[in-house]
Structure 1
Amino acid sequence: MSIELIEQALLTGKWTDNIETSSPVVEIAKNVVEGAFRTALISSQARALFSIPNDAKIVDRKLNEWFNFSVSGNDVKEQELLQLTLAVACLHAFIQVNWTGPNLDVTPLDVLDIPSEISSHITDDLLRQKSIEELAYGGEPAYHLAAVPLFLRLAILLIDLPFVHCQSAPWWKLRITRIHEEILDEPFGVPSAILSDCEPLTSAIDPDQLGRLVLEEGLLEHDLGHDRAATEFFVRAARKTKLEYELTGALGKRTKFQQTDVTQLVLLAQSRQRDDDSGKEDKQSEENLQAASDTSKSLNFPETLVLNDDTLLEHTQFTSSTSIGTNARLRELDPSAQPALHPLDQCILLALCLNIKNTSPAHGLTAEQMSAYVSRVISHPRNWSIHTMALLLRSRLEANRTRTVERSTLQLQALVDQMPTADSSVSERLLYIHDLLLPSKWEMEKELAKRFLSLGVVKSALEIFERLEMWEEAVLCWQSMERKDKAIALVRDLLEGRKAEADAVISRSKATASTRRQTLDAAREAKLWCLLGDVEPEHALDHYNHAWTVSKETSGRAMRSLGGYYFARGNYAEAIPCLRRGVSINPLLGRSWFVLGCAYVREEEWDGAREAFSRCVAIDDEDGESWNNLASVYLRMGETKTDGKDQIPKESETGDSTADETSQGIPFANKMLAFHALKQGLKFSYDNWRMWSNYMIVAMDVGELAEACRALGRVVEERSIKDGAACVDDDVLDRLVDAVTRAPANPSDASESGNAQNAVTNPNEGHGLLRRVSDLFDRIILPRVSSPRIFRARARLLTWQGRWEDAINAYLEAYRNGAAGSIEKGETDVEKWKEGVREVEEIVDVLRNFGPRVEGFKWRLQARSIIRTFMGRTKDFEDEPEWPRLVDLLEEIRKED
């Protein structure tokens, strides 16, 4: 018996003829691969493993105490293989009934070997209740209407056993963990060993298997919200399978009435040639595609609805057989007739498509990019589950466009309706299920209900939510209809037993409230009490505390709700311990960490705030607000932290300017951490002018003047229309000009080596900063705003450059925008006039000093004109003591002629 070949067959879902089926365990493995789960799970070997002792008290114990999974007999390898095979059978049976369909033909009672003496005590309802309770993890309840949850619980118990000979057990643990995450209300962090234990497998499997493993690791990271790490895994998976792909453009048409060909986005992709029967698959794929195009429905794949729009084409019509891509091999592909991709490569493209959405801003280009990936997969149906996922993604992309929203909703409805059908085999549906992010049945129906809700079809959405017993969403529906009384009554009926949650409960007992309460597992009941607190804010505190008590102090939701309650009322000292307990139960929820950090800031507990915002950016490194808050916290901390844990900076909850925080008392290391934090956060909050302002001040403080220059430019771009010249921080602008003009004007003199090239190596001073500051004036500030101080700063820079005529013009612009240039006849403000006198004296000095350096410039005439004009406008001030100064100045200019 070759364990390696059997394990490979289980992993790939394909049985090979060179595996001998002489052993009963091997026969069970073959049945599992072929989707015959009933045959595998009711076999004598399986029932022996799932044998329950004859003990009436067993029903009060946890499920792991029901079974004796210890290895018996001499053949340890065979026993391990049996345990692994049955774990796979239980997992796939659970997936079949909850994800892919069709309906399952085996029940938990069929599988368990129950002594007749206690058979009356062990019912389907008991098994469901215990399984759902034990599947709750980290204070997050499992979805209580998941079918046959015992199978998932058994799969977890079996895969947690020690495996010595079955090398693929860590991979199956990864797969089971992903499915377990899917049935929880909120994602929960998994042990790092889940991924690290799979590392030894990477050297013992072929390229496709290796690509599949890397892809599934990336999908787990995606489930946990680690989008950047997930993207790296997906790209590695494509590299392992040698999938070549490129998003490029080709001439084509998108509408029926388009006359001119324009460049359209297209994804060029090509799989490597494999040694298996790919030719046969390609031929079958082409036949399926032809059938789909002829009848709009393929017998072996989900129904693909046509658009039937009077303007948009069903598909982009590419009129060019070549593209503008950079990959020479892909450039040879015809965009309208690309070859079919291997199904695994299709899975990788769909995963990459998902991460385009998660790692890009929400704008039209993102949707167009995703559409190119989806279209490339939809064009060649190869597998039932893959095609379902592609259609689901297309439905999501089309949900926000008026011309496609109808097909989007109908397609989603068709995908929901197809689940119970038997239009394809169980083995085909499960073949690539672990390589996709295909949602469960209830999640897909929930998505459909939300789609109805977005279209205003509230009643239909409410019916789905109530059927799925998703009470939180049902309450939101009632609230959207302004029926708060209905929302409260719904939750109270559930808690008090007047409304049962499942048909099984109704048939069993709904006579008394006490019986009802016994059927509610602790996590579910705690969630309902929290929900009641949400809709009854006047009694929220009591309800949240009761939820915490009911859950036996395990409900993360209860603690998060309590923390939010205290925070909203300004009771930060009470909010902090609640939120800390909440994040200790489930540390993956970034929003809870963020609120905790804000509470710490209000209490001026900077170490706690630093930790909280650090966790925020560790969970989501694209959270610009948390980066900003982290930076603010660093600027408030009294001492440098050098424990090696704070290489990532954090932000402050307000986003206000931190100019007053960058004092001399702040350690330089903290300022640098704040600088790097703001720099990281601005990648994801590019339009947040407050963050740019903070970044500008901190950059000036740490000597990063080039970045301060860039930040000042962004503030001006964002605020100039509303604030005018006030958007320019004049002090920062003057300091930038000073940093340039401190250096010798001659580049050779500015370098110790005498080499002019070396003078521009430092971007934060002198000639290295000159280009940025000049660009700041010419391209950003002066085309938008003007003020005397801005023109004077510009003039100082031009003076340093020796551009005398331009410098004079800048000073003249400063004069015209100042008090002297704008003063009118009849002015009565003496102080303003005195300021004007000083400005006249200054501009005359500028003309006297720089005028002679400009050939052909009649500076004396310009100076006399300025003085006469000013004196003519302000004759009412002739009695002021400063007036003779103007007369003397005019006389001096005349004498110099």
Structure 2
Amino acid sequence: MATAIDQQQWSVLLGNDLQHKPESTEASTPDLSADTSSLTQLLLAGEYGLALKTPTAAEIFGTNLTETDAEVIALESSLDLSAFLTKRMQSYLENTTPSSTSTTSSASLDVLFIAIASLYAFVQAGWTGPELGFEPVDVLPAHVRPKSKDLDKQALDSLAVGGETTYHLSPQILFLHFSRILLVDNLETLKKDAVVAKTAPWWALRTLFLQQRTLEGPTGLLQTEMLALADEIESTLTAEVKIDNGALEAIDKKEALTRFWIEKGLVLHWYTEDTKAYETLQKAQSTSGFRFKVTGALGKRTKFQQFDTSQLVVVAESSRDMASSRPSAYSSKAGSGAGPKNLEHNDDTILEKVQFTELSEEDRARLGDLELDPSKKIEDLHPIDHALLLAFCLNIKNTNPAHGLTVEQMFPFVTRVLETPNNWTVYTMALLLRSRLESDKSRTVERGALQLQALVDQTKIEDETSTTRERMHHFFSVLLPSKWELEKELAEQYMALGVVRSAMDIFERMELWEDVIACHQFLDQAEKAKALCRELLAKNPSNAKLHCTIGDLDEDPEKYKEAWEVSGHRLARAQRSLGAYYFKRSEYELAKPCYQKALKINPLFENSWFILGCIGMQLEDFDVAIEAFTKVVSIDQSNGEAWNNLAAIHMRRNNNLDAQHALRQALKEKRESWKIWSNYMYCSLDVGDFTEAIRAMGMVVELRWKQKKEETVNDEIVDIVILDRIVQGLTRDLKDLYSRKVAFQESRIEDLLLGITNRITNDPRIWRICGKFYFWQKNYPECLECQLKAYRSVIHNPKIETDQTEFEKAVESAIEMVDWYRNLGPLTYKDKQGQEQPVAKDWAYRSKQMIKSLMARTRDSWEDVPAYEKLKDTMEDLKSEK
């Protein structure tokens, strides 16, 4: 049987009482009147302030310590909260027994729950609202509370990772610092309790992800830590779901696993590991039993639409056990009344919702097991399935280029969530995504901006439909931005609409000085931007970012160097900016060490790796270039340019098999690039992969022909040398990379030649290559026809009569054509009826007429040159032919 500790920690992690309830729990809604000191009940009720004011919290944070206490004196002197809390935590674990001050029958669980309360308090302050009503320093000893600003600064410095700084106005950042110390820095101590070790890593993962989201950019150190924790959690959950009489019943096992896969998928999405994120979300869907598909249904989108057209729609259905579980827990009226405000279009053309046509029984049967009739009432989904839909929606955005089709693909996912709201946080995220999708459309951009403003305002409101508990319930299952990120997004939306002054007011209030300066630049107020930057720098000369900003404005590399020194060699941005300065001026030797220093601090900047790779190529430092482009594709496998450059380096080093692999990856992402196809063609032929070389040449011809029609380019569409090598592989009986004779590609080569000659009819070189192919086939009539077309391509040149070189080429071509007539004309072939027929019975007559015609055309221009004499000699020889 599961212990009480087991049940309590899983209950808190899932945010609700478990199906298998402890005896003291009578209902799914926590009853605080039963035991107001219970940390479990306080956390489930969303009373994080009360949890942090319990005697347990006072013991851990030293709230009641006096100014004469040695620990308080040490904290006041050093402001080292990490050492202080670690010591307090260890003391509590060593001295607390179930019969003393512990409220959960486990001292380790006490510490875990206090850390969770601190983490949730930070989320409430910075993400969900409403206002907490107290400060983090209120839980610390009274004597150090006046130093709250110093403690905040210490926390900001401590939470900065990999040269990426924490947003300096993050509300109540000490709460995150507390939870980081207790849940991450002291995780191994907590895990000494085997039971608590089941969920503590999960909370550590959540803490690290929140820390990452307060930083200005991604950092590899946190990514590595989080993915390691995810592997540990997966192992624990896999073991936990196999326990028959554990704390988790069947439905709770499904929900716990589903939540984990979603949270891991969101972490991967954050770091742009799109393929892995999608695979992880698919595991979440499989675990939940959730089914959905994107399909089309007839309907009208505008008020004046006369005919139904196909509209994208998501058909979705929660599994039966998930849909029926804990109905009382999901009774929120989000989206109505005082919940997240869903603004209407109020547009004179666009309908508020797509008006779908009611389906007939025949149409409904055709849809299969996921029945769809959009005109009917849509069934509710489990909130975790709503979160899954939004996660898949984000993945569409992350894995598709930014164009209209992507927006149309994403909208049905958001619409499906908005149709059946049942959780405040998930509904808010859906409204935010809709606002973003509508920001680029003229008819919806106003609603998008107003909706965003409404979401910014709502975090300050508390009402019965959106309690703290309700707002926090599925917070970790969606990527809801923080309050400051939302406000910044609103300001950027104002900028896009041209409302620069309103945007600047928001940026100034948030002290986002780089954005304020960008507003001045947008208004052509460069001098104001510089004056503001210098004024801020005079007030705070140790602000390294401001040194970088003024370096951008003045294009002064010395300012970046100052920023680097001021930051104590920790601000990666300073070296990135310095490197970019040198790179733009082609000073590659100077740019290279700058990017290397920046990437040593934070290796997750894909663009910096790409530029370093380009620098390596310019300097022919191929080891650096290979490392850089390999890093790029490990961060983003869809970067076709990086794969192409990687292949180019391998080709320079004669590593053609590696180059071919890299180009194959590049083509997955940039299939319309004829240049990459061309490189792939060369590389494939060099390694002897004739199959891929033929395919690549076909694509090059198709794409170049299309480009020529659209852009009127004069470049050659076909690489004659490569085409000749392909045909020679056949005619010389060569073997390919896999020891197969090239002859097995005969039909594909013929299709390639036909595809080329259908587009290009005036290049004699191509016709001669075709002639070689048909001669190898012993198709002599076709061979002779190709050689004749080659000759005609030459003599159609008007310069023959004015340019001696062109005339001599025509003479050589004519004599060569006579030889083809002489050699192939007398031969026989079988016609369609199987009868033997001569290839060219009158070959001699044709030859004479051809030479006679050329002589007559060029007599006046070239009668006295040696080449004309050759024509005369050839005609004399032909007169003796029968």
TM-score (norm 2): 0.86
For 2:742 and 2:509, the matched residues in 1 are separated by 70
Instruction: Specify the alignment match of 1:547 in structure 2.
Output: 563
Q: Is the deviation greater in 208-217 or in 458-467?
A: 458-467
1:839 to 2:839 alignment:
no
Report the secondary structure of 1:245's partner residue.
strand
Instruction: Specify the alignment match of 2:651 in structure 1.
Output: 635
Instruction: Specify the alignment match of 2:244 in structure 1.
Output: none
Q: Is the deviation greater in 801-810 or in 619-628?
A: 801-810
Instruction: Specify the alignment match of 2:859 in structure 1.
Output: 875
Matches for 1:774-853 after TM superposition, within 5 Å: 774-779=750-755, 782-783=758-759, 786-818=762-794, 820-823=795-798, 827-852=801-826, 853=828
Instruction: Specify the alignment match of 1:600 in structure 2.
Output: 616
Q: Is the 8 A contact 1:713 1:781 kept in 2?
A: no
Residue 155 of structure 2 aligns with an amino acid whose one-letter code is S
1:450 pairs with one of 485, 492, 496? 492
Report the secondary structure of 1:315's partner residue.
strand
For 2:452 and 2:422, the matched residues in 1 are separated by 20
1:32 pairs with one of 27, 43, 46? 43
Instruction: Specify the alignment match of 1:504 in structure 2.
Output: none
Q: Is the deviation greater in 340-349 or in 623-632?
A: 623-632
Instruction: Specify the alignment match of 1:102 in structure 2.
Output: 130
Matches for 1:350-389 after TM superposition, within 5 Å: 350-389=390-429
Q: Is the 8 A contact 1:699 1:708 kept in 2?
A: yes
Q: Is the 8 A contact 1:798 1:807 kept in 2?
A: yes
Cα 1:338/1:575, change in 2 over 3 Å: same
2:76 pairs with one of 50, 58, 61? 58
1:394 pairs with one of 434, 438, 441? 434
Report the secondary structure of 2:866's partner residue.
coil
Report the secondary structure of 1:248's partner residue.
strand
Instruction: Specify the alignment match of 1:20 in structure 2.
Output: 24
Instruction: Specify the alignment match of 2:748 in structure 1.
Output: 772
1:130 to 2:173 alignment:
no
Q: Is the 8 A contact 1:250 1:320 kept in 2?
A: no
Residue 846 of structure 1 aligns with an amino acid whose one-letter code is W
Shift of 1:870: 1.2
Shift of 1:587: 0.9
Cα 1:413/1:785, change in 2 over 3 Å: farther
Instruction: Specify the alignment match of 1:194 in structure 2.
Output: 229
1:8 pairs with one of 7, 10, 15? 10
Report the secondary structure of 2:298's partner residue.
strand
Q: Is the deviation greater in 600-609 or in 341-350?
A: 600-609
Shift of 1:284: 5.6
Q: Is the 8 A contact 1:628 1:681 kept in 2?
A: yes
Residue 337 of structure 2 aligns with an amino acid whose one-letter code is L
For 2:518 and 2:776, the matched residues in 1 are separated by 66
Matches for 1:732-771 after TM superposition, within 5 Å: 732-743=722-733, 766-771=742-747
Shift of 1:325: 11
For 2:452 and 2:286, the matched residues in 1 are separated by 32
Matches for 1:170-185 after TM superposition, within 5 Å: 170-185=201-216
Matches for 1:878-897 after TM superposition, within 5 Å: 878-890=863-875, 892-893=877-878, 896-897=881-882
Cα 1:784/1:895, change in 2 over 3 Å: closer
For 1:95 and 1:560, the matched residues in 2 are separated by 32
Q: Is the deviation greater in 597-606 or in 550-559?
A: 597-606
Instruction: Specify the alignment match of 1:709 in structure 2.
Output: 694
For 2:347 and 2:841, the matched residues in 1 are separated by 72
Cα 1:283/1:86, change in 2 over 3 Å: closer
Matches for 1:641-652 after TM superposition, within 5 Å: none
Shift of 1:327: 7.7
| Aligned residues between the structures | 811
Shift of 1:734: 0.6
Cα 1:41/1:19, change in 2 over 3 Å: farther
Structure 2 residue runs of 5 or longer lacking an equivalent are: 26-31, 66-70, 242-252, 830-836
Instruction: Specify the alignment match of 2:601 in structure 1.
Output: 585
Structure 1 residue runs of 5 or longer lacking an equivalent are: 290-296, 498-515, 638-665, 745-749, 751-759
For 1:349 and 1:428, the matched residues in 2 are separated by 20
1:169 to 2:200 alignment:
yes
Residue 237 of structure 2 aligns with an amino acid whose one-letter code is T
Q: Is the deviation greater in 670-679 or in 356-365?
A: 356-365
Identity of aligned residues (%): 38
1:92 to 2:115 alignment:
no
Shift of 1:242: 1.1
Q: Is the 8 A contact 1:323 1:331 kept in 2?
A: no
Shift of 1:14: 1.1
For 1:495 and 1:381, the matched residues in 2 are separated by 48
Q: Is the 8 A contact 1:705 1:765 kept in 2?
A: no
Shift of 1:464: 1.4
Instruction: Specify the alignment match of 1:309 in structure 2.
Output: 347
Residue 183 of structure 2 aligns with an amino acid whose one-letter code is I
For 1:560 and 1:323, the matched residues in 2 are separated by 58
Report the secondary structure of 2:527's partner residue.
helix
Cα 1:770/1:318, change in 2 over 3 Å: farther
Residue 229 of structure 2 aligns with an amino acid whose one-letter code is I
Q: Is the deviation greater in 310-319 or in 698-707?
A: 310-319
2:301 pairs with one of 254, 266, 278? 254
Q: Is the deviation greater in 714-723 or in 7-16?
A: 714-723
For 2:119 and 2:799, the matched residues in 1 are separated by 86
Cα 1:781/1:461, change in 2 over 3 Å: farther
Q: Is the 8 A contact 1:301 1:383 kept in 2?
A: no
Shift of 1:764: 7.5
Residue 785 of structure 2 aligns with an amino acid whose one-letter code is N
1:440 pairs with one of 474, 482, 487? 482
Report the secondary structure of 1:225's partner residue.
coil
1:689 to 2:674 alignment:
yes
Residue 416 of structure 1 aligns with an amino acid whose one-letter code is V
Instruction: Specify the alignment match of 2:247 in structure 1.
Output: none
Cα 1:626/1:37, change in 2 over 3 Å: same
For 1:242 and 1:734, the matched residues in 2 are separated by 57
Report the secondary structure of 2:89's partner residue.
coil
For 1:575 and 1:274, the matched residues in 2 are separated by 59
Report the secondary structure of 1:196's partner residue.
helix
Report the secondary structure of 1:782's partner residue.
helix
Instruction: Specify the alignment match of 2:833 in structure 1.
Output: none
Q: Is the deviation greater in 358-367 or in 270-279?
A: 270-279
1:318 to 2:356 alignment:
yes
Instruction: Specify the alignment match of 2:319 in structure 1.
Output: 272
Shift of 1:778: 2.9
For 2:879 and 2:351, the matched residues in 1 are separated by 80
Shift of 1:250: 2.5
Q: Is the 8 A contact 1:248 1:324 kept in 2?
A: no
Shift of 1:230: 1.0
1:403 pairs with one of 443, 448, 459? 443
For 2:782 and 2:121, the matched residues in 1 are separated by 80
Shift of 1:334: 5.2
For 1:237 and 1:785, the matched residues in 2 are separated by 57
Report the secondary structure of 2:202's partner residue.
helix
Shift of 1:193: 2.0
For 1:314 and 1:703, the matched residues in 2 are separated by 60
Q: Is the 8 A contact 1:248 1:323 kept in 2?
A: no
Report the secondary structure of 2:620's partner residue.
coil
Cα 1:764/1:177, change in 2 over 3 Å: farther
What per-residue deviation string (whole Å, max 9, x for no partner) do you get for residues 169-219 of structure 1? Answer: 111111111111110010112224222221222221411210110110111
Shift of 1:26: 7.1
Q: Is the 8 A contact 1:25 1:81 kept in 2?
A: no
Cα 1:26/1:735, change in 2 over 3 Å: farther
Give the aligned CA root-mean-square deviation in angstroms: 2.9
Residue 872 of structure 1 aligns with an amino acid whose one-letter code is A
